[in-house]
Every structure is written in C-alpha cells, then in structure tokens.
Amino acid sequence: NAGVTQTPKFQVLKTGQSMTLQCAQDMNHEYMSWYRQDPGMGLRLIHYSVGAGITDQGEVPNGYNVSRSTTEDFPLRLLSAAPSQTSVYFCASSRGDRGNFNSPLHFGNGTRLTVT
C-alpha cells in the first residue's frame, strides 16, 4: 500500500491564483481530513469528510473548498490564493468505519505552499 499520497510536494502561487491540492489513499479509509501547519505551530483542521459525498468544516475553512466524490480522493481547492495561506498542508485518513473514529490517523508527507 502507498498509504496517503499528496501532490504536489511544493507549489508557488501568486496572489489570486487558484489551485487544487491532491490527496489519495489506498487503504479504503472512510474518514479523510486536511490540516495546515504554519511554522512552529501545531496542526489546524481545515475540512474533513466522514465518507464519500459528505464533507464538513473544521477550525479554519475560509478560503478552501473540498469535495469527496470517491472514497479514495479528497482534493483541497484554494479559490483565490492569499499570502496568509502560505503553509504546509497535510492530508490524513483513518478507518472511521461503523463509527470507530479512534482508529489512528495516517498522514501524507505534505504539500509546501508559498503564496507571493
């Protein structure tokens, strides 16, 4: 299994540009989520999904959209990039089946985004 795969690894955007960060997992996990991590800080939850077709907001959802059309994929869209969105973005997944949300989170290796 590849686990959780994030692409791209690095990205530089200009203010106002849009882009999609990709996240895919091959573990058949129901639960997926996106976090951002600013330098020296903990992780902040952006959006999460408890299954295909179901998404909800986390702590810091403004400026980001998500969709979950398949179990495997959970892309994160930046609608109009701003310098404040410069961060490292992590995607995570866990089993979460039948309400077992204590299954450990599996993280990808992150996407480093710089907005100039």
Partner 1 sequence: LAKTTQPISMDSYEGQEVNITCSHNNIATNDYITWYQQFPSQGPRFIIQGYKTKVTNEVASLFIPADRKSSTLSLPRVSLSDTAVYYCLVGPNTGGFKTIFGAGTRLFVKA
Q: Are 91 and 7 in contact (CB under 8 A)?
A: no
- Interface region with partner 1, contact rule CB under 8 A, candidates 13-21, 60-68, 71-79, 97-105: 97-105
The yes or no reply on residue 35 touching partner 1 (CB under 8 A) is yes
Least distance from partner 1 to the Cβ atom of residue 58, Å: 7
The yes or no reply on residue 46 touching partner 1 (CB under 8 A) is no
The yes or no reply on residue 38 touching partner 1 (CB under 8 A) is no
61: how many CB neighbours lie within 10 A of its CB?
Answer: 16
Least distance from partner 1 to the Cβ atom of residue 116, Å: 21
d(CA 33, CA 23): 10
Sign of CA dihedral 60, 61, 62, 66: positive
d(CA 72, CA 87): 24
Report the interface residues with partner 1, using CB under 8 A: 4, 31, 33, 35, 41-45, 48, 50, 58-59, 90, 92, 94-96, 100-110
